[in-house]
Structures are given as structure tokens and as C-alpha cells.
């Protein structure tokens, strides 16, 4: 069974990696779907985000990284997936995630959404917090993979 783990991943965090690794225990293969959303203003381009993710998951088997700029359910059908994998950090994540799951089910009842709770070690990490820490040259090694840390430092050094 193939699952799709969608997100903007701007940037990928250790919490995202935790969800990816745990998803691989449940599914035969996993596609990390990097959302191209013109309404958001990401720090990193789609290509930069894909590159950072690929570098961070290169040692994991059965993982692909692909961009998409469509409805998630359309991307899942195109990739012959059947499950949306989502991570939950804390209770405030649940209402929006639940709403998305219901809308996706209305759009395609054949697609299931599976939620995994983020490991407590990463419960507080968000991409926004990571970018703020990086902007002020804070310590990043507990928040993001090394590859992402170097890209963040380079981005904010400009």
C-alpha cells in the first residue's frame, strides 16, 4: 500500500522525518508530496525543498519526493496512492487536519487519511519556529537535519 505524506515542508523538520520513518513502518512505500501553493510565500523554492528532503531521506528505502500543484486527491490518484499520511503535534492541529480529511473523503471516498502522533521529542517543532530560530542565528541541530540546517544558515546569511 502506497501512502502520500503531503506538506509544504518549508523547511523539513525532525518532526517531519519522524512521521516519514513511522509511516514507512505502516506502508510499503511513501511519496512525500511537496505542495506548490501560490497563496503561501515559502522561504525556499519548490526545487530547494525537494532537494533538502531528498538529501534528508536518501538512506530510507521506498521513499520518493515529488512536487504537486493540484488537489491532493488528484495527486494521490495520479500516483496510484490510497492513503494520506498526516502527523499531529498537539490538539490545536486536530481541527484543521480533521476538516481536510473530511473534505478529501468527500472528494474521493476511496482515499483514507491516517494520522500519527508526532513523537513527544518533536511535539513543539514547527517550520515557522525553525525559520525564526535560524533568522536569529540560533542553534538548529535539534530541530532539523544537518542538510537543512546548512541551507537555512546559508539563506539567512544573505
pLDDT tens figures, 2-12: 999 999 999 99
pLDDT higher than threshold 90 for residue 95: no
Q: pLDDT tens-digit profile of 26-67?
A: 999 999 999 998 788 899 999 999 999 999 999 999 999 999
| pLDDT reported for residue 90 | 75
Predicted structure pTM score: 0.94
Angstrom distances, CA of residue 64 to CA of 47, 48, 104, 124, 135: 14, 15, 22, 26, 30
CATH number of the domain where residue 27 is located = 3.40.50.620
Cβ neighbours of 5 (radius 10 Å): 26
pLDDT higher than threshold 80 for residue 13: yes
Of 48, 67, 57, 96, the C-alpha closest to 4 is 67
pLDDT higher than threshold 90 for residue 118: no
What's the rounded Cα separation, in Å, for the pair 10 and 50?
A: 10
Task: Give how far the C-alpha of residue 107 lies from the chain's centroid of Cα atoms, to the nearest Å.
Answer: 22
What's the rounded Cα separation, in Å, for the pair 126 and 138?
A: 15
* Number of domains forming the structure of the chain: 1
Domain hosting residue 153, numbered range: 2-157
Of 12, 70, 65, the C-alpha closest to 43 is 12
Residues labelled as active-site residues? 16, 40, 89, 127
Amino acid at each position: 500500500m502506497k501512502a502520500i505524506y503531503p506538506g509544504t515542508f518549508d523547511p523539513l523538520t525532525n518532526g517531519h522525518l519522524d512521521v516519514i520513518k513511522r509511516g514507512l513502518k505502516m506502508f510499503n512505500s511513501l511519496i512525500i508530496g511537496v505542495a506548490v501553493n501560490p497563496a503561501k510565500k515559502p522561504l525556499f523554492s519548490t526545487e530547494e525543498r525537494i532537494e533538502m528532503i531528498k538529501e534528508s531521506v536518501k538512506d530510507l528505502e521506498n521513499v520518493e519526493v515529488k512536487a504537486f500543484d493540484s488537489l491532493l486527491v488528484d495527486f494521490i490518484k495520479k500516483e496510484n496512492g490510497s492513503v494520506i499520511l498526516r502527523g499531529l503535534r498537539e490538539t490545536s492541529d486536530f481541527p484543521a487536519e480533521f476538516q481536510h480529511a473530511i473534505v478529501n473523503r468527500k472528494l474521493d471516498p476511496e482515499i483514507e487519511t491516517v494520522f500519527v502522533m508526532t513523537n513527544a521529542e518533536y511535539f513543539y517543532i514547527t517550520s515557522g519556529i525553525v525559520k525564526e530560530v535560524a533568522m536569529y542565528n540560533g542553534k538548529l541541530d535539534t530541530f532539523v537535519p544537518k542538510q537543512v540546517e546548512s541551507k537555512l544558515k546559508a539563506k539567512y546569511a544573505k
